[in-house]
Chains A and B, each alone.
Chain A
Amino acid sequence: MVWWSILLWALLKLVIAFLFIFITALILIWMLRKIMGHMQYRRGPRHHGPHGIWQTVFDTIKLLGKEDIIPSGVDRWTFIWAPMIIFVPSLMAFVFLPFAEKIVATNIEISLFFVLAIMGLSIIALLMAGWGSNNKYALLGGVRSAAQMMSYEIPMLISAMGVVMMSGSMNLSEIVRAQQHIWYIVPQLVGFFIFGCASLAEINSTPFDIPEAESEIVSGFNVEYSGFRFAAFFLAEFVNLFIVCALAALLFLGGWLPFTNPVYGTIFFLVKTYVLIFIVMWIKSTFPRFRIDQFMNFGWKVLLPLSLANLFVTGVIVLMVDKFRGV
């Protein structure tokens, strides 16, 4: 291939990925509003389209059309770049997610490692937003989210390592194929629990939404943002929600299995992901929030030892099975 066709191909992939995550985020916001509404004896959006499905589209258009306010006294460059940077990890992580057999934008050998590493980068944007806003609430929110991600990244990675040990690969497609006989949620139930908790913390969702605690620090790092910059933060939150749920579906729920057909596979994978998303939204509308110290204790004193123990036990069992089989 000549260089421009490679570039064009990469650009096309990026555009498709961007469109997909944009639409997904819109659907997820609508879904959250509907689910929360029905759980609270309300109906949620009703007016635009059947069951208000155009509501979030119009909301986004409204946000994009708003005046761009940059408060005086902010650190201009960090303030402007933070909402753009927050999209980068989400977009990049997205490119490596396999949707079905052979339906994956970029297939590399260590895609799981890469996705997890990239997702850790979103903290930079949050810190930038918190620091650049020149607002004490935002600063508190940024620092809180830094502490949160730091302490929950580790159990998340370690719990994912259990899956890697069992499947013997870091490629997401390979991990799914290795689950042909049994989904990893069964042998790795503890790992799934840890991964779930850590992912909730990763995406700042209830009960770990401490960085944006509305009742304490109003809404944390994004308090000074409005218009399309706020929309970027808002959409990124939901994209991340999709990504962690998709990851959990791939790692523990067997991705597109039992279908190998690309169409059915994709549908089944999306169904699994959306079931997980529904659970997250269910938690979101019923759970209170941890306090920061309780939350740190939970991360370092419960999840981390648990994940290490899980890793150890998994390793021992995998070794014994291999010995038994005579590999």
Chain B
Amino acid sequence: MYDEAEILLDDLPKDYMEVNFGPHHPSTHGVFRFIAKIDGERIIDIDPVIGYLHRGIEKIAENRTYVQFKPLVDRLDYTGGLNNELCYCLAVEKLMDIEAPPRAQAIRVICAELNRIAAHLIFFGAMGLETGAFTPLLFGFLDRETILNIFEIMAGGRLTFNYITIGGVREDIRSTVKTYFDKFNKEFPVKLKRYEELITGNEIFIKRLKNVGILKKEDLFNWGASGPTLRGSGVKFDIRKVEPYSGYEKYDFDIPVGTNGDVYDRYLVRMEEIKQSMRIVAQALDNLPSGDFTVKVPRIIKPPEGEVYVRNEGTKGEIGFYIVSKGDKNPYRLKIRTPSFSHINMLNFAASGNYIADAIVILGSFDTVMGSCDR
């Protein structure tokens, strides 16, 4: 035993220090841990350690019916629960070969986009915190609060909703949602402009983010990156446009892309996406189709034998559900593809060689959520 340890020690270069970050660290976004080898202020190597929030959700799915499993889906990426639900329900619907009515589809789009705004507001706050400014965090959470209040009227929940059901949504949208949203829509752009004046144009903030953690397109493809992280490097890839689901083709919105691929671009892409999502929600609420909010589905859902992979644009990137059905009331196998997992793997590649402070900022720019990474 002793000899082994000695050999290991001899192999390592002598002049570095190993520092453990996390799992309880203010800026590792939940219970992420990484072991960094640092040489002075520079990071030589990062070894991510994940699994502190592993709940075995994929295995649980095999022992639960399709409806019973749905509440757990919220808990994957808990900042964007409705996006997860939407993806799961689309997958089961595709398996069962049914489609939600137009009204339900529009409501789903409203949910998903509002949730995207809420998630990006957290990102905005966290990014400020990571560069050392505390105020953006509270500003971000303040506006998120308004959105959560809208969710409360709509779905009854604030973080985990269980609102989107297989075949539609749980209940019809209430008329007050529109009033609340219109008020929000009037106030929010003004506030957003003020926040951007506070932080986006700040000389120090730009200095901290510009030309930090530059990622090239090819590398991102290799690492399986998606979502705003991918778009920050100039790839115009958004599943809402490429494979429109839930009626996204009906709405008019742009896909912001970055040019440089650095942290600042990823930040700007997300800030722009907030505005685009606001546009989508406004359009959806204005042209809400009449009709049913759900189709009739059998009480016990038994999809026919087969397998299906459905993906959608989550708040952090591509969420995918791969479901294998053997005609039972439980899925035979369920695999979840989450963006956070891919992005965290990329951390060493993106951050080693940089300063410690940069590594934190780069990790923040991926906007990972450990619930969705560990599952």
Where the two chains meet, the residues of A that have a C-beta atom closer than 8 Å to any C-beta of B are 36, 39-42, 136-137, 140, 206-207, 209, 213-218, 285-294
A140 to B36, CA, bound (A): 13
Question: Does B255 make an interface contact (CB < 8 A)?
Answer: no
Q: Given A39-B135, A206-B133, A292-B41, 5 other A-B contacts at CB below 8 A? A: A40-B135, A136-B17, A207-B204, A288-B133, A291-B207
Q: List 26 A-B contacts (CB under 8 A).
A: A36-B134, A39-B135, A40-B139, A41-B138, A136-B20, A206-B132, A207-B132, A207-B204, A209-B132, A213-B357, A215-B129, A215-B360, A216-B356, A216-B357, A286-B135, A286-B198, A287-B132, A287-B133, A288-B131, A288-B204, A289-B208, A290-B208, A291-B208, A291-B357, A293-B41, A294-B207
A133–chain B nearest beta-carbon distance, Å: 14
Question: Which of B19, B135, B142, B208 has the most chain A CB atoms closer than 10 A to its own CB?
Answer: B135
B132/A293 in contact, CB under 8 A: no
Question: Which of B26, B41, B208, B356 has the most chain A CB atoms closer than 10 A to its own CB?
Answer: B41
A41/B142 in contact, CB under 8 A: yes
**Contact for B357 among A39, A286, A292, CB less than 8 A:** A292
A140 to B355, CA, bound (A): 13
Give the residue name and chain of the A residue nearest to B127 (CB): A288
Task: Kindly count the residue-residue contacts between A and B in the assembled complex, taking CB atoms under 8 Å apart.
Answer: 80
The answer to whether residues A41 and B132 also contact, given A216-B360, A288-B204, A291-B357 and a CB cut-off of 8 A, is: no
Question: Does B205 make an interface contact (CB < 8 A)?
Answer: yes
Which residues of the other chain, A, contact B139 by a CB distance below 8 angstroms? 40-41
Question: Does B147 make an interface contact (CB < 8 A)?
Answer: no
A286/B358 in contact, CB under 8 A: no
Which residues of the other chain, B, contact A40 by a CB distance below 8 angstroms? 134-135, 138-139
**Contact for B132 among A140, A215, A218, CB less than 8 A:** A215
A288/B132 in contact, CB under 8 A: yes
Which residues of the other chain, B, contact A39 by a CB distance below 8 angstroms? 135
**Contact for B128 among A36, A207, A288, A291, CB less than 8 A:** A288
Give the residue name and chain of the A residue nearest to B364 (CB): A215
Question: Which of A39, A214, A216, A218 has the most chain B CB atoms closer than 10 A to its own CB?
Answer: A216
Which residues of the other chain, A, contact B142 by a CB distance below 8 angstroms? 41
Which residues of the other chain, A, contact B185 by a CB distance below 8 angstroms? none
A189–chain B nearest beta-carbon distance, Å: 20
A186–chain B nearest beta-carbon distance, Å: 26
Give the residue name and chain of the A residue nearest to B41 (CB): A292
B26/A214 in contact, CB under 8 A: yes
Question: Does B199 make an interface contact (CB < 8 A)?
Answer: yes
Interface residues of B in 109-159 (CB under 8 A from A): 128-135, 138-139, 142
A206 to B41, CA, bound (A): 20
Which residues of the other chain, B, contact A36 by a CB distance below 8 angstroms? 134-135
Give the residue name and chain of the A residue nearest to B205 (CB): A288
A206 to B131, CA, bound (A): 11
